[in-house]
């Protein structure tokens, strides 16, 4: 009887190491040598379990897309029946929601590399579109008489405020910035009432 395959476990460990490198050095600065050192393996092991550099980047992009899509779906599914928008905004603009600074750095690095890696760009666009669609649906539900274009504009604007605040999190800005972003999002949404 043969030994069980370690491919899934080793691949996950290598992707974890790659993500840590990307958070520190960006995509281009995450050399195969750095990744192998971070994973505690020889460089040939990277190729054995995942493949070349392109395969590593694609695997990390696929993992981030899956994780972010799952988190986004879970967030909207967990909203209560009442006060959905207020609950959502409190959650989005609560710094503990985006406290995973390493994950945010990885996402930023992936987005920044979109011009070099079109598949990554497509994955990130897909996640952002899903987030925007869910947010717009929530706003349309809360403001059924609002103009659809205004709902879309408010959705994208609120999402942009959230992304901006979350990407600035590593700076540990004073709370007033989060509070201001939350107030701005609330104002945008209230404008849908007409």
- Per residue in 40-74, pLDDT (tens digit) is 999 998 888 998 889 999 999 999 999 999 999 99
Task: Output the pLDDT for position 102.
Answer: 83
**Domain range annotation of the chain:** 1-51, 62-193
Its pTM stands at 0.86
CA 123 → CA 64, 92, 118, 145, 150, distances in Å? 9, 22, 9, 33, 26
Q: Taking a C-beta distance cutoff of 8 angstroms, is the pair 50, 56 a contact?
A: yes
1-51: CATH topology is Arc Repressor Mutant, subunit A (1.10.10)
State the average pLDDT over residues 169-174.
Answer: 85
> Are both 1-51 and 62-193 of the same fold?
no
- Per residue in 110-135, pLDDT (tens digit) is 888 989 999 999 999 999 999 999 99
Quote the mean pLDDT of the chain: 91
Top-level class of domain 62-193: mainly alpha
- Per residue in 75-106, pLDDT (tens digit) is 999 999 999 999 999 999 987 766 677 888 88
Task: Output the pLDDT for position 3.
Answer: 61
Tokens of 71: 């988190």
């Amino acid at each position: 009887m043969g030994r069980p395959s370690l491919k899934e476990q080793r691949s996950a460990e290598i992707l974890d190491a790659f993500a840590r490198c990307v958070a520190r050095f960006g995509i281009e600065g995450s050399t195969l040598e750095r990744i192998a050192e971070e994973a505690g393996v020889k460089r040939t092991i990277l190729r054995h379990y995942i493949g070349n550099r392109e395969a590593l980047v694609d695997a990390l992009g696929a993992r981030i897309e899956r994780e972010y899509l799952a988190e986004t779906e879970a967030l909207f599914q967990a909203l209560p029946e009442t006060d959905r928008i207020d609950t959502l905004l409190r959650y989005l603009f609560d710094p503990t929601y985006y406290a995973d600074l390493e994950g945010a750095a990885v996402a930023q690095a992936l987005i920044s590399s979109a011009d070099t890696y079109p598949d990554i760009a497509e994955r990130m666009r897909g996640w952002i579109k899903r987030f925007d669609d869910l947010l717009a649906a929530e706003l349309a539900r809360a403001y059924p008489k609002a103009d659809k274009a205004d709902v879309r504009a408010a959705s994208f604007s609120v999402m942009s405020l959230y992304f901006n605040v979350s990407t600035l999190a590593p700076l540990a800005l004073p709370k007033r910035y989060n509070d201001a972003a939350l107030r701005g999002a609330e104002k945008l949404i209230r404008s849908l009432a007409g």
